[in-house]
Structure formats: C-alpha cells, structure tokens
C-alpha cells in the first residue's frame, strides 16, 4: 500500500520520452563541434543561489554545495521523478561559501569552504575542510576537520585513490594543491605550480577542477588566453604525474593536454563507467564540453545565450543502474537578456554520444 502510494505521488517518467530532442545536427570534426544531447531540469533554485559542486551518494542521491549566498549542503532525491525532491541539509555559519565536495569513504564526504563575496573578494584565513557522514542516516552538522590558514581561495576537491583519507583541494589564487589528511587534520602542499602567486584580494582564478586519473593529477586552468591567430579566448586542461600520496612526482612538471575554445573552464569528470571521455563544465561560457583521449571535443549542452547550463560549475555521472549514463551538471545561474535565473542541476542523457 505504502509503495503504491509513493508511486502515485512520484509520477515516474521514462527519460527517453521526457527529454527534449537534440536541437543540433551531428557533425564530425576534431575541432569545435556541436553534439547537443537530450537533457532536462532536475532542480531549479531561486535567483541568487549558485550551486558550486556536485557529488553522488552510493544510493544515487545528489549532494550539492552552494557558493552563494551562503555555505549550504543540499540533497536531491527521487531523481527518477518528474520533480525530484530537494532538501536543505544544513548551512555552515562560520563561512560564506562551500566549494568542492568529494567522497572519502562510503557515504562520507569532505567539503571545502571559506569566505568569498562578490564585493569583498576572498576572505583571507577563512579556508577550511569539513566532513559530512551519512553512514548513520541523515547527517547532523558537519565536522570541521582542518583549517587551511595559508590558503587563499579553495576550489575543486578530490580524494587520492587507494589513500582515501587524503583529500586534495585546488587553490585557485595561489596556483597550488593543498593536501589534507582527514584522519589527523594535517595540512600540507601536494603541488605548487608556476607562477607561484601571493594571496591577494584580486580574484584571478587559475587551477579550478582537479581529479586523479591513470596516475596523473588532471586539472583545469581557468585563466583564459587569446589565441595568437584568431584572438578568440581559450582555456586549457593540464596533467602532472603524481605519487601514491597525490603529491607531484619527483621532477614532474605539468603538461598541457587539451585546449578548448572557451573563455572559462571549471570542474570535470570521466565516464560513463570506465569510458575515458572527459566531461567539462565551462562556467560562464554556459556550456558543457566532452573530450576524447585523442583530443576530439564537442559542445554537448548549452550555448552562450541559453539558460540550459548557465554558469556550469561541475558534473558527475549517476551511480545507479538507471542513471549511470546520466551526467548531472550543477550551475551557478546568471543573467541573460536581462533575465536572472538561479543555479540548478541539469541531467544530460549521454547514451547517444559517439565520436
Ligand atoms: C542560506 O541561503 C538559503 C537560500 O537563499 C536560504 O534558504 C537559507 O535560509 C540561508 N540560510 C542561512 C542560515 O542563512
Ligand atoms: C567568514 O564569514 C563569516 C560569515 O559572514 C564570518 O562570521 C567570519 O568571521 C568570516 N571569517 C573570516 C576569517 O573572515
Ligand atoms: C594557467 O594558464 C596561464 C595562462 O596560460 C599560465 O600563465 C599559468 O601558468 C597556468 N597555470 C598552471 C598552473 O598551469
Ligand atoms: C537572448 O537573445 C538572443 C538574441 O535575441 C536569443 O537568440 C536568445 O535565445 C535569448 N536567450 C534567452 C535565454 O532569452
């Protein structure tokens, strides 16, 4: 009886029929190519709420961190319903913003936070890392694991494979990667890139998303440069060999591996499953790119004047059988043609992606 009531309350839908049809034809090219995939809105937040990052629980629910207006963790459940349920789990008062989120052990997540405001910029000395534990059911307030007094502006976070108590967090101002031992609360630098920048109130975002894959730490660099020939803005992804503890390997230096025709580049993920395709949120470009290991890439969602994935901040694949090919994209929202929308989560069906 109860389960049948739930099914009535939760109007189940078949993704294939609910998704909007692709609005562009498929063209094959190594260069800029558009291969828009079907997608739908999973959660829409009011204007002023910027969703910064996304993690997926083992039960399939999404966890969202907010960057503006405050440091809130949201959970999205009933993803197979037409209107999934969004729950505000908690808001941390000690800081203004949450950044990256990463799972450190089954259903335990590390969340990076600190102070940032659009008027005042970064809040020096406010960076910190929290732990949120779902293993006993809904979590209570998160636990403060470490403060990072020397960090300037934390951003993407990732867990070191096989050393799950070690979390790496990008510092977008200092061009560094911080490493936090979640058991001991110890903090050190896992990598420092050039130029070694000082903490300043000027917000010039460098390293943004970070993930370890195939023995390398891959990262996006949000600093755009003008293409010497066309003058168009482009941004790049890099990789650097790392050791078992996630630190830059002896003598290793970062190499540029992918350049996109984009004025911004934010967090990214791999998948679906074991597939080695990179899915990259392009922030203020309002797009998501997909790139194959041989350097082919395509815009798979959004457009500069579309709200579809406006200010795309991060993306993750689903973790259940039903949604392992669904890419969930978090966004910060934005203003287009005088209309302002808040952040959201968009679900992209990648089943038809072929290159
Ligand atoms: C945080 O922001 C959200 C969204 O605006 C709001 O609903 C919530 O009340 C705020 N929480 C606190 C503690 O300020
Ligand atoms: C960070 O922001 C919070 C909330 O506004 C404030 O209470 C706290 O003092 C700030 N911390 C620092 C180090 O500036
Ligand atoms: C990021 O890109 C800028 C511009 O190309 C470059 O100066 C900087 O060294 C890059 N940062 C890293 C960490 O590679
Ligand atoms: C904004 O205006 C442009 C030009 O008229 C139009 O192509 C685009 O669809 C509009 N976007 C939105 C979100 O209204």
Helices (H), the chain: 2-9, 15-18
Pick from 310, 306, 289: nearest CA to 353: 289
**Residue 87 pLDDT exceeds 50:** yes
pLDDT, average across residues 15-37? 47
What is the pLDDT at residue 336? 98
What is the pLDDT at residue 119? 72
Residue nearest (by alpha carbon) to ligand 3 atom 4: 223
Q: How far is the CA of 235 from the centre of ligand 2 (A)?
A: 32
**Residue 355 pLDDT exceeds 90:** no
**Residue 290 pLDDT exceeds 50:** yes
Pocket test of ligand 4: the residue of 311, 331, 336, 338 to mutate, having most ligand atoms within 8 Å of its CB, is 336
Cβ of residue 119 lying under 6 Å from some atom of ligand 4: no
Residue nearest (by alpha carbon) to ligand 2 atom 4: 95
Cβ of residue 128 lying under 6 Å from some atom of ligand 2: no
Q: How far is the CA of 29 from the centre of ligand 4 (A)?
A: 27
pLDDT, average across residues 191-203? 76
Q: How far is the CA of 254 from the centre of ligand 3 (A)?
A: 10
**Residue 21 pLDDT exceeds 60:** no
How open is the CA angle 270-326-313, to the nearest 5 degrees?
Answer: 60
* Average pLDDT score, the chain: 90
Confidence band, pLDDT 50/70/90 cuts, at residue 168? very high
Cα 301 → chain centroid: 15
The pTM of the full predicted model, rounded to 2 decimals, is 0.92
Do 309 and 346 meet the contact criterion of CB atoms below 8 Å apart? yes
Distance, in Å, from the CA atom of 145 to the CA atom of 135, rounded to the nearest integer, reads 17
Residue nearest (by alpha carbon) to ligand 4 atom 6: 305
What is the pLDDT at residue 138? 86
**CATH superfamily, with its number, for domain 3-20+28-349:** TolB, C-terminal domain (2.120.10.30)
Q: Per the structure block, which two tokens stand in for 218?
A: 């891959």
Label residue 311 left, alpha or beta by phi (over 0 means left) and psi (-120 to 50 means alpha): left
**Residue 295 pLDDT exceeds 70:** yes
**Residue 4 pLDDT exceeds 80:** no
Between 35 and 111, the more confident residue is 111
What is the pLDDT at residue 200? 64
Q: How far is the CA of 348 from the centre of ligand 1 (A)?
A: 28
Q: Which ligand is nearest to the CA of 342?
A: 1
Q: How far is the CA of 83 from the centre of ligand 1 (A)?
A: 21
Q: Which residues make Cβ contacts (< 8 Å) with residue 203, sequence separation at least 6? A: 121, 122, 153, 173
Render pLDDT for 238-249 as a digit per residue (tens, 0 to 9).
999 999 999 999
Cβ of residue 70 lying under 6 Å from some atom of ligand 1: yes
Do 329 and 37 meet the contact criterion of CB atoms below 8 Å apart? no
In this structure, how many other beta carbons lie within 10 angstroms of the beta carbon of residue 51? 28
Cβ of residue 89 lying under 6 Å from some atom of ligand 1: no
**Residue 8 pLDDT exceeds 60:** no
Tell me the sheet residues that pair with 334.
Answer: 341
**Residue 151 pLDDT exceeds 70:** yes
- Highest mean pLDDT of the ranges 17-26, 136-145, 195-204: 136-145
Distance, in Å, from the CA atom of 81 to the CA atom of 174, rounded to the nearest integer, reads 42
Q: What SS3 state is found at 2? A: helix
Residue nearest (by alpha carbon) to ligand 3 atom 6: 223
Confidence band, pLDDT 50/70/90 cuts, at residue 9? very low
**Residue 5 pLDDT exceeds 50:** no
């Amino acid at each position: 009886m109860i389960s049948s009531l739930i099914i009535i309350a939760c109007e189940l839908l078949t993704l294939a029929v609910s998704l909007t049809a692709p609005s562009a034809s498929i063209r094959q090219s190594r260069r800029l190519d558009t291969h828009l995939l079907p997608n739908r809105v999973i959660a829409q937040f009011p204007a002023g709420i910027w969703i910064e990052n996304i993690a997926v629980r083992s039960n399939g629910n999404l966890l969202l961190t907010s960057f503006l207006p405050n440091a809130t963790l949201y959970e999205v459940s009933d993803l197979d319903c037409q209107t999934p349920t969004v729950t505000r789990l908690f808001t941390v008062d000690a800081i203004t913003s949450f950044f990256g989120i990463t799972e450190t052990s089954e259903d335990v997540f590390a969340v990076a936070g600190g102070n940032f405001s659009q008027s005042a910029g970064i809040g020096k000395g406010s960076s910190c890392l929290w732990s949120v534990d779902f293993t006993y059911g809904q979590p209570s307030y998160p636990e403060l694991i470490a403060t990072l007094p020397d960090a300037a502006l934390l951003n993407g976070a990732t867990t070191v494979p096989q050393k799950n108590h070690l979390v790496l967090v990008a510092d977008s101002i200092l061009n560094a990667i911080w490493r936090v031992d979640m058991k001991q609360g110890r903090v050190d630098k896992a990598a420092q890139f050039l130029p070694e920048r000082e903490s300043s109130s000027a917000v010039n975002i460098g390293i943004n998303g970070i993930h370890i894959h195939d023995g390398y730490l891959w990262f996006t660099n949000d600093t755009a440069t003008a293409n010497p020939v066309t003058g168009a803005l482009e941004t790049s992804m890099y990789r650097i060999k790392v050791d078992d503890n996630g630190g830059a390997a002896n003598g290793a230096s970062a190499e540029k591996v992918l350049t996109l025709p984009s004025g911004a580049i934010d967090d990214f993920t791999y998948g679906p499953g074991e597939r080695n395709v990179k899915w990259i949120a392009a922030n203020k470009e309002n797009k998501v790119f997909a790139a194959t290991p041989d350097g082919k890439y395509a815009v798979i969602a959004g457009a500069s004047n579309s709200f579809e994935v406006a200010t795309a901040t991060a993306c993750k694949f689903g973790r259940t059988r039903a949604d392992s090919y669904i890419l969930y994209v978090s966004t910060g929202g934005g203003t287009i043609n005088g209309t302002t929308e808040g952040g959201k989560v968009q679900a992209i069906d990648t089943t038809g992606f072929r290159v």
